[in-house]
């Protein structure tokens, strides 16, 4: 049975491919597909804050998410839980930095506990790198993609910024369909 795709998936696939491949020359279908799927996931705001504290409340602070991902001192109950949390932190950092730069303040007082761009980049790169180190068994196939996401994190942010700009123009996103 084939997994059902999100209704926005074709739209986001085209938008991300247009920016990543068409404008930045980032020709990596795995990364493009992953980022488009992430946009679909985060189109539901509940998914943006899916990390929960011990009381079940959403964690909205990047530093608290990072603390929760620690399998020794945090709330991650296993290395698989650490991987899932780190994957989410990477996704969160990429999404916020690329799609909502207005959520990033220039000073700690102005940011009101919102992360800086540098903090988002550091957390995203580190988190995707950690996810890439889970490279055995069921994670073996996708581990290299997370290494590339870590290595190209800033370029992926720029690509999402271009997606955001294109969406703001309300123009159709046209890139020729891929011929398989």
Query: pLDDT at position 109, please?
Result: 46
Question: Which pTM value belongs to this model?
Answer: 0.88
Find residue 52's DSSP bridge partners.
58
State the CB neighbour count (10 A cutoff) for residue 29.
13
Q: Give the mean pLDDT of the chain.
A: 88
The values of phi and psi at residue 171, to 5°, are -105, 150
Percent of the chain at pLDDT exceeding 90: 69
Residues 46-84 pLDDT 10s: 899 999 888 889 999 999 999 999 888 888 888 899 999
Task: Determine the distance from the C-alpha atom of residue 16 to the mean position of all C-alpha atoms in its chain, rounded to a whole number.
Answer: 13
Nearest to 155 by CA among 23, 39, 12, 36: 23
């Amino acid at each position: 049975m084939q997994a059902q795709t999100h209704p926005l998936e074709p739209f986001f696939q085209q938008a991300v491919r247009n920016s990543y491949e068409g404008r930045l020359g980032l020709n990596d279908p795995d990364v493009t597909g992953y980022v488009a799927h992430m946009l679909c996931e985060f189109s539901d705001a509940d998914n943006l804050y899916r990390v929960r504290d011990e009381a079940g409340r959403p964690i909205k602070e990047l530093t608290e998410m990072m603390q929760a991902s620690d399998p020794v001192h945090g709330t991650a109950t296993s290395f698989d839980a650490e991987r899932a949390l780190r994957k989410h932190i990477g996704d969160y950092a990429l999404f916020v930095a690329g799609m909502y730069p207005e959520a990033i303040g220039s000073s700690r007082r102005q940011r009101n506990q919102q992360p800086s761009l540098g903090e988002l980049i550091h957390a995203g790169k580190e988190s995707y790198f950690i996810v890439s180190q889970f490279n055995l068994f069921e994670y073996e196939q996708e581990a290299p993609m997370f290494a590339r996401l870590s290595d190209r994190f800033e370029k992926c942010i720029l690509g999402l910024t271009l997606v955001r700009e294109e969406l703001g123009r309300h123009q159709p996103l046209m890139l020729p369909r891929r011929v398989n």
